[in-house]
Structure formats: structure tokens, C-alpha cells
Amino acid sequence: MTFAEIYEAALTLFSERTFPVIGMRDISEAVGLRPGSLYAHINSKEELLEKVVHDGITNYLDELRPIAESNDPAPERMRAAIRAHVKVLAKTLAQTRVAFHQWQFLGGDAQKEIVGLRKQYENIFRRIYRDGVQEGSFREARSERIAALAVIGMLTSASEWYDPEGALGADEFGDALAEAAVDGLLP
């Protein structure tokens, strides 16, 4: 039994049934270990949740940072960031559901670390929006943060209704979201 196998089982369980209702017994049954034996591989189910959430948000940061830092016009970067988000979502749907919706079940230092990662994610969209306002390609909203969070809210909620088997593939889905979001920011 490896940590990776335990991690994958926990990720699946957290995604299907949520962290609060999953116990160590559920995880041990999923990997074919006795509950006591599971502790030889992990310290707690919160440790697993922290890793799932950390990895999930980091996947997005890794894809979005180069887009935010490019010299392309802000509308192009916003569209590219939204498309990149959807591509990560399509590859990591279960992990995304956990990362963006169950992080609040973490406590203490783990939650502080995740809040920091979430802030980095937010700042990518704020930067692109701010650049767009400065270059005149986005209208100035009452609140930069709310404008960015409106886009982020659309993206993070997409994990609840995106269907990999649906009529739109990831690229078309990303294009549709990008169109809706960016059009709402234009002057």
C-alpha cells in the first residue's frame, strides 16, 4: 500500500461524499487496510484533505501564473486564464470539487496556508482585471475585488455543473465561459 493509493481513495471519497462524512474506516475499507494499519501511512484524514486541497489549488496556480505575467492585452489574458482553468478542471474534476469547496474543513495552520494559496489565485484575476482597466480594455467596476471574484465564482462553481460527457468539450466550455465573463468586463 502506498500513500498515493490512499490519497486517491480519499480524494474520491471526499469528492463523492464530502470530508465531514468520511471516516478513517471508510478510507481504510477503500484501500483494503484495517483502520489501525492506515495510521502507519498517514497521520489523519485532515492530512489527506490538506494535500488534496493544496495540490488542487497549486494545479491552477501553475497554469495561470504564466498567463497573468504575459504581455498580452488583458482581455486575451482573461480569456486564456478562464480557458486554462477549465482545462485543469476537466483533468482534475474530483480534486477541484474538493479543493475549492471543502478547504474550510481544515483547521489551524493548514487552513492559513490554503487561504494564502486562494489569495494568490484571486490575485491573478485581480491583476489581469486591473491591467485591463489601466489599458482601457475593461470598464472600471466599483470594486476590483468584486469584479475578480465574480469571474472566480463562475469558475469555481463550474466544478458543480461541468459534465465531461456533456455536449460541450472542455475547450468549447472554456470558450463559452470566457465569452460570458470577458463580455461583462468590457466598456
Taking only the tens place, the pLDDT of each residue in 102-128 is 999 999 999 999 999 999 999 999 999
CATH number of the domain at 77, please. 1.10.357.10
Region 52-61: what's the mean pLDDT?
98
Same-domain pairing of 62 and 32 = no
Contact partners, residue 77, CB within 8 Å, separation at least 6: 67, 68, 70, 128, 131
Range of the domain at 29: 1-42
Same domain, 85 and 117: yes
* Per-residue pLDDT at 23: 94
Q: Are the CB atoms for 93 and 57 separated by under 8 Å?
A: no
Same domain? 4 vs 84: no
DSSP string, 24-86: HHHHHHHHT--HHHHTTT-S-HHHHHHHHHHHHHHHHHHHHHHHHHS-S-HHHHHHHHHHHHH
Nearest Cα residue to 25 out of 40, 10, 47, 7: 10
- pLDDT of 35 reads 80
- Are residues 122 and 154 part of one domain? yes
Both 18 and 67 in one domain: the answer is no
Same domain, 71 and 140: yes
* Confidence at 33, pLDDT banded by 50, 70, 90: very high
* Cα–Cα distance, 56 to 118 (Å, whole number): 11
